[in-house]
Amino acid sequence: MKGIYRTGLVLTSIVLSACGGGSSPQTPPLPPVPPIPPSPSVAVTSGNINRVQAMNTSLRIEVTAQAANFSPSGTLYASASDGDSLMQAPVTVSSNSNGSYTFALDTQASKESGHYSGKLTIKLCSDAACNTAQAVPSISVPYDITVHSPNSAWPGDQLTPLAPWNGVPDWATFQGNNAHTGYVPVEIKADQMQLRWKRGAVNNSTSGYNASISPLVTANGRFYASGDKKLTAYQENDGKALWSYDTSGLSNPGANPPAVDNGVVYFAAGQQNTTYMIALDAVDGSARMKSAMSSQWERYLSPIVQDGAIYTNSGSYGGMYAFASTGERLFFQGLSQTSMWSPATDGRSIFAYTGDALTIVQPKTGTVLSTIRDSSFTNYVYQLGGAAVVGANGGVYAAAYANGYLNDGSIGNQLIRFDTAKGFLDWRVPGVYRVTPAYADGVLYAPNFNPYRLEARSEADGKLLWSWVPPLGGEVSFHASPVVTKNLLFISTNVNTYALDLKTRKVVWSYPAPGYLAISASGLLYIQSPDALVAVNLK
């Protein structure tokens, strides 16, 4: 009996232990702690502000910032401030589809020349007076802006390494290419535009009636300019001269502006019975060819080179010559007695605009394919002072540029479109168009001297799309033709050179010197004035 009793106790003990009898209930696990929501942020993505500004002008600054976990309370307002009082306080805010914001503001035009650097602070507010801050109260970005006057000392060279842009051609002839569009297929950031070097003038290339129009051309890290009876090659890196070809040995010496193609520089030289088309090796300046032409005392713009043939204005009583690269004369086509122009081409035909007509000739043979006349033209001055511009869909654009100087512009002229596909003068816009327009993507950018403004006109019908008026009271003329890129337009007045944003139509960069403009494949902007040549880094 005792043994059985003990066994029963043990079993009972085991059963009670297994059931947890006598112990308190287990504490249930705590619920998971919810994650802390990320803090709202607005981060600047557009980079630092680095600009050059001509004194008495204002620049448009745009700061882009990416928002994360940020929803503005009501409308997002902003206000700008900086330690130099360089920026104007008003800020325009726009939201973008990717969740970012663009903050647009302007610099003060009243700042004295000098170097300004510091931090721009943009307050983010929920009221227009900026008394109530948003969840992210502000953003900031460093700035470095140099304000230059015409009398400012040169700040020093910035000889950064040069490398060519991919897919960007060199500035090979008048207005850059054989269509004379002044277009360079590249996007340029204003904050990357910094002064590179400055040197003495490469020639006396002036502006105005009967001016010495002699813009430079570029190729393979060099630029070439004619002047003082010479043609000279220079290094793009630092502006130093490499070699010169002197025409003083001619009985009537002179060097007209050049063109460059496939390692050879071409230019018309001399006058009267010692007029030649000369070709020089672009590397060492050695002579490649020297072919005789006829002329009186005329001056010419750059020739063009197309498929191994060189075309130039010349002739004792007006006309156009064509030469093979070997120097053989291909043809001479007599035209109206007008000088200071350059042929143009669309790659299929050669166009010669002489004011009274656009003559279309077959390449290399000179056979006249058609002539489109302008019966309203009067040949007052026997010079053109520009070139035809080849657009799309058979459109060729021009004006009797030199006539725009007569009687202080009161006679005027017209910007016209020739329809070369159908053979008639399509439309005309009255004005005072003294310099060759630029062209890109269906838009002509034409400086008009009366009314004084830069005009953007539709190539289809000449309709005014928008215009821009230079800001200074002393600006009364345009020095030379504009240059246009994918996003910026460069224009030079008699006082300053400006870069305009094509989207906002605001000035984003300026420099206090006028000049002929060119952009090389090395990423340099040239401002060529009668006093100096300035090179600007674009990348």
- Please say whether the beta carbons of 231 and 293 come within 8 A: no
Q: What is the pLDDT of residue 16?
A: 36
C-alpha 201/C-alpha 273 separation (Å) is 30
The residue with greater pLDDT, 467 or 299, is 467
Rounded to whole angstroms, what are the CA distances from 523 to 306, 389, 518, 536, 538?
Answer: 24, 24, 10, 8, 5
Categorise residue 292: left if φ over 0, alpha if ψ from -120 to 50, beta otherwise.
Answer: beta
Residue 6 backbone dihedrals phi, psi, to 5 degrees: -65, -40
Taken in order of first residue, the domains within the chain and their CATH numbers are 41-148 (2.60.40.10), 174-537 (2.130.10.10)
Q: What is the pLDDT of residue 3?
A: 43
C-alpha 397/C-alpha 436 separation (Å) is 9
Q: What is the pLDDT of residue 10?
A: 38
CA 52 to centroid of chain Cα atoms: 15
Cβ within 8 Å of residue 329, ≥6 positions away? 291, 321, 322, 323
Burial of 281 (0-12, 13-18, 19+ CB in 10 A): middle
Omega within 30 of 0 (cis) for the link into 451: yes
In this prediction the pTM is: 0.92
DSSP character at residue 34: P
For the stretch 390-441, pLDDT in tens is 999 999 999 999 999 988 888 889 999 999 999 999 999 999 999 999 999 9
The residue with greater pLDDT, 299 or 347, is 347
Q: Where does the pLDDT of residue 460 fall: very low under 50, low under 70, confident under 90, or very high at 90 and above? A: very high
For the stretch 477-493, pLDDT in tens is 999 999 999 999 999 99
Q: What is the pLDDT of residue 14?
A: 37
Nearest to 105 by CA among 136, 65, 78, 138: 78
Residue 153 backbone dihedrals phi, psi, to 5 degrees: -70, 150
Span 42-55, average pLDDT? 97
CA 120 to centroid of chain Cα atoms: 27
Q: What is the pLDDT of residue 141?
A: 98
Q: What is the pLDDT of residue 196?
A: 99
The residue with greater pLDDT, 453 or 213, is 453
Nearest to 488 by CA among 119, 163, 86, 188: 188
Which amino acid belongs to residue 157?
D
DSSP structure string for 425-493: EEEEEEE---SPPEEETTEEEEEEETTEEEEEEETTT--EEEEE--S-TT--SB-S--EE-SSEEEEEB
Residue 464 has pLDDT above 90, yes or no: yes
Q: Where does the pLDDT of residue 13 fall: very low under 50, low under 70, confident under 90, or very high at 90 and above? A: very low
The residue with greater pLDDT, 245 or 9, is 245
C-alpha 202/C-alpha 213 separation (Å) is 12
Q: Which two tokens stand for residue 181?
A: 């569009």
Span 25-39, average pLDDT? 81
Q: What is the pLDDT of residue 433?
A: 97
Q: What is the pLDDT of residue 102?
A: 98
C-alpha 241/C-alpha 474 separation (Å) is 35
Q: What is the pLDDT of residue 12?
A: 37
Q: Which two tokens stand for residue 364?
A: 């290399």
Nearest to 124 by CA among 140, 143, 144, 108: 140
Neighbours of 466 (CB within 10 A): 12
Among 93-102, 114-123, 199-208, 505-514, the least confident range: 199-208
C-alpha 152/C-alpha 279 separation (Å) is 40
Report, in this order, helix, strand and coil percent for the chain, each rounded to 5: 5, 45, 50
Q: What is the pLDDT of residue 27?
A: 80
Categorise residue 316: left if φ over 0, alpha if ψ from -120 to 50, beta otherwise.
Answer: alpha
Residue 5 has pLDDT above 60, yes or no: no
For the stretch 351-403, pLDDT in tens is 999 999 999 999 999 999 999 999 999 999 999 999 999 999 999 999 999 99
Among 23-27, 261-265, 278-282, the least confident range: 23-27
Q: What is the pLDDT of residue 25?
A: 67
C-alpha 183/C-alpha 97 separation (Å) is 30
Q: What is the pLDDT of residue 210?
A: 65
Q: Up-side HSE of residue 424: CA atoms within 13 Å toward CB?
A: 3
C-alpha 322/C-alpha 328 separation (Å) is 9
Q: Where does the pLDDT of residue 24 fall: very low under 50, low under 70, confident under 90, or very high at 90 and above? A: low
Q: What is the pLDDT of residue 445?
A: 99
Span 239-244, average pLDDT? 98
Span 444-467, average pLDDT? 98
Q: What is the pLDDT of residue 17?
A: 41
Residue 15 has pLDDT above 60, yes or no: no
